[in-house]
Amino acid sequence: PLAVQPMLLRALETGEIQPVGARRARRVDVRIITATDADLEAAAADGRFRVPLLHRLRGFEVRLPALRDRLDDVPRLLLHFLRAELATLGSAQRLAPAGQAPLWLPASVVLALLRHDWPGNVRELRNIARQIAVAGFDQAVAPPLALPTPSPPPPRPEVPRPETGPPLDLVDRLVTPRGSYPPEDVARALEACRYSVRQAADRLGVPKSNLLRYAQRALGLRTAAEIPDDEWRACQAAFGDDVDAIAALLRVSPRAVRSRLKDLEPR
């Protein structure tokens, strides 16, 4: 609270506190460690946080990236929280060593977590781990996970198209000599070809460069080089050497996965 901040600042500056009901101040020798996910600079600018206290607390500052910016931590933290929750429920054996079947935690759950935006940061992951444990501690396989859906972006204003432009039903289609394909057909072709753009291009009868440009624009497809290293490491932490699972998640070919993981190996 704003009213308490001057008292806290005084205690930090003088090293003295006066307990409630006491007649005199008491000397204390303490070290204060604080943590927040709030924008204190903005709060200070708005008058909601005392500027002198902000500077006093900044003796040594450590900035920890949000969970969405360190996806490789998601599998590690998930296992840490799950072990604690399952142990509390008396079902620690559910997290069997790798290689034992069936796996209690399905790959689809990990995939969903790696794709999540994590607005609630690590606290949200801890709560999700608790939900998974409570829902599946007495089952052979943990049930499917329902993550909250983020709010959709505001609709884009419609821009009038010139009369000489392509027909409206072809604007978002991939046009080839064999016909025109909507995005869902292109996505199915890429999936059937295990995200080999060359094979999918041959299948649809279109140059590889044309298909790649269309897939990047309409489907958000990325090349292996465009995927950040932290996403690769997060997938490797979750799936180990399961190239097919990583390829399906990142929507790149297994060949590209092997090449990229080899590049990430320590020299």
Q: What is the 3-state secondary structure (H, E, C) of 147-169?
A: CCCCCCCCCCCCCCCCCCCCCHH
For residue 236, give the nearest of 9, 100, 71 by alpha carbon: 71
Tell me the C-alpha distance between 196 and 189, whole Å. Answer: 10
171-217 per-position pLDDT tens digit: 467 776 666 788 888 888 999 999 999 999 998 888 898 889 888 88
Tell me the C-alpha distance between 247 and 259, whole Å. Answer: 12
Predicted model pTM: 0.52
Tell me the C-alpha distance between 13 and 8, whole Å. Answer: 9
108-139 per-position pLDDT tens digit: 888 888 888 898 899 999 999 999 999 988 88
Tell me the C-alpha distance between 237 and 13, whole Å. Answer: 46
CA angle 243, 258, 192 (to 5 degrees): 55
